[in-house]
A and B are shown apart, each in its own frame.
Chain A
Amino acid sequence: MSDTILDVKKLCVSYRGEGGYNHAVRNVSFTLGREKLGIVGESGSGKSTVGRALLRLLPTAEITAEKLRFEELDVLALREKEMLKVRGRRMSMILQDPKFSLNPIRRVGEQVAEAYLTHFKCSKAEARAKAISMLEAVQIRDCERVYDLYPHEVSGGMGQRIMIAMMLLTDPDLVIADEPTSALDVTVRLQVLNILDKLVSERGIGLIMISHDLNLVRNFCDRVLIMYAGQVVESLKASELHLAQHPYTQGLLAAQPRIGGGRGRLSVLNRRPEWKEPIEVQA
């Protein structure tokens, strides 16, 4: 692929623990073009850690990789000062819960505008105008009013849209969305996803969607990586998820209740120790 945004080879993240290192992420390799890549797995499987490692947001962890290339940059070799110019500007992250990720004592609009002011030389009025037009782009009605609200005055869905606006304002090339909609209701979730989808396709942004929701990933992403115990156990096209080979993926699919799916017992994952054995999947 000529326009590869991200090229990751054998990414490992480990934390120093008692008597050596605990490996949270082991040998994760994938490439990302201008597409939507989903990472699914249960909690504790290391999916969020991968996202954070890409942004080097893990100060206490040891991150190693054979290759971690973001466009022309070698992310692991960058100094922190250079990383500051990448983080939030060219690579940004949408966090799970707007209630906790917005500063409660500052107006939401200011927080959105701040993203722009940090990375571009411009006047406050310009940043405000930019922020407002971005709020409009995420379909917030009456943006001028919303700009001056505090986070506790907006609903969850609107908060998440504000987060998306903040992250897309600097026009990044890569957005990592860490469970962007799991705090939202089904109806609002679809709206937020549609907005995200539209913006991502219009601007040609690479998107990594971290989620534990198989339905969401299946509907929304182009490709899916399935993680278990820190490793990628399978990589599939989203449309071919039902052809999954790995027993863990099959187990996840079967455990999902469905509307009109009958009342039979839901199958429960039977975790096997051999799933933790090193395997390598190139995606």
Chain B
Amino acid sequence: MKSVDIRNLSITLGHGAKAVKILPDVSFSVGEGECFGLVGESGSGKSTILRCMSLLLTQWDGKITIGGKDVRQMPLIERCRTLQMVFQDPYGSLHPRQSVRTVLHEPLRIHGMDNRQERMERAITEVGLPVDFLDRYPHQLSGGQRQRVAIARALILEPSVLLLDEPTSALDVSVQAEILNLLSDLRAKRGFTYIMVSHDLAVVDYMCDRFAVMQAGEIVEILDREALDGNKATKPYARQLIEASLEYDSAV
């Protein structure tokens, strides 16, 4: 399992006088096997950080290392074996005309892995779906099942870092609970390093050990999970965000 370190990550668009900095200067590090949360309002740059890490965005400056290696220096094959991403919307992130088998088979083929049938079966059972689901198409699956398939797709290459971009925000509470349980089981079993974007602080509290509060591309404050209960944040924006969530969550 690998640790993640992000130093002075910034994105500037445009040139010269028109240049705009959309992500000023982000640094944080995540330990091995840790679950790190990124929270903040929409447009604060949470997902952008994940996209930079997975090199879905390439136009950034700074340094991102995973397990001591610079992601930019890693060959593509190695990078994909190291980190995988689960996207927000299970309705949009699976190809509608590819069966689950195709979805899971493709990465195995690209990476030239052996025992493909066995690996596919293991991945699909690991996310709690029956093996005959391999022959289903996305429209034959519910939202929660699709998200499980998306997680299985990420797991099949046995990465050590999982990037989760709001994995449950498109799902109902009851299904969300299933996915969160699954994610925490997987972490206990395989010791993944998670970096999780969410705007639901209750989910962050359930999953993460530490989390960063972001606003307008900057990390306002990095807090421990314990700081949520009773609002021990020191920066005004972080306090405000936690307060709003507590108020929202209060009528228990």
Known: A187-B240, A261-B205. A219 touches B176 (CB 8 A): no
Interface contact tally, CB-CB below 8 A: 92
What CA separation (Å) do A184 and B41 show in the bound complex?
9
> 6 other contacts beyond A186-B245, A258-B205, A260-B205, with CB at 8 A cut-off?
A185-B42, A186-B248, A189-B248, A214-B173, A257-B206, A261-B202
What CA separation (Å) do A186 and B240 show in the bound complex?
11
A96: min CB distance to chain B, Å: 12
CB-based nearest A residue for B207: A257
- Where the two chains meet, the residues of A that have a C-beta atom closer than 8 Å to any C-beta of B are 42-43, 155-156, 184-190, 212-216, 218-219, 242, 251-252, 255-261, 263, 265-269
Q: In the complex, are the beta carbons of A187 and B202 less than 8 A apart?
A: no
Interface size on B, residues (CB 8 A): 35
Most central of B230, B240, B251 by chain A CB within 10 Å: B251
A residues in contact with B174, CB < 8 Å: 42, 251-252, 255, 268-269
A residues in contact with B42, CB < 8 Å: 156, 184-185
What CA separation (Å) do A269 and B202 show in the bound complex?
19
Contact of B244 among A42, A156, A190, A261 (CB under 8 A): A190
Q: Say which one of B55-63, B99-107, B118-126, B177-185 lies at the interface with A.
A: B177-185
Q: In the complex, are the beta carbons of B177 and A268 less than 8 A apart?
A: yes
CB-based nearest A residue for B229: A260
A11: min CB distance to chain B, Å: 23
Q: Does B153 contact A (CB under 8 A)?
A: no
CB-based nearest B residue for A270: B174
Q: Is the interface of A mostly helix, strand, loop or mixed?
A: loop
Q: In the complex, are the beta carbons of A255 and B202 less than 8 A apart?
A: no
Q: In the complex, are the beta carbons of A266 and B249 less than 8 A apart?
A: no
B7: min CB distance to chain A, Å: 28
Known: A260-B228, A260-B229. A266 touches B206 (CB 8 A): yes
Q: Does B216 contact A (CB under 8 A)?
A: no
Binary interface profile of B, 35-52, with partner A (CB < 8 Å = 1, else 0)? 000000111000000000
